[in-house]
Structure 1
Amino acid sequence: MLSWALTFLIIALIAGALGLSGVAGAATNVAWILFVVGLVIAIIFAISGRRPPG
């Protein structure tokens, strides 16, 4: 999830450098949403402890 966020962030930076503000804004929003979702999932897994069966 976080790798996808990084990918969209890179796309946003490139689009912003090329002057494509609409694409850059959309990619930034997607990157932010994916980052937050990935962070929430990581926190949930850290709290739950994922114990082996048995």
Structure 2
Amino acid sequence: MGNSWTRVLGWLAVCGLLAGLVAGFGYAPREVVQGNVQRIMYLHVPSVLTAYLA
């Protein structure tokens, strides 16, 4: 299992991911030309940067 810091950071990561999904897909307006495809960038770019830095 892990210590308490690991669990806290894990839950913070889950909450941050959910907040990002809500902001990217619910709050951000749809782009005129690309539509929903552009909204996917709000999820993929931070994921790529996080994976690269990990």
Coarse TM-score class (shorter-chain normalised): 0.3 to 0.5
Normalising by structure 1, we get a TM-score of 0.48
Which is higher, the Rg of structure 1 or of structure 2? 1
Normalising by structure 2, we get a TM-score of 0.48
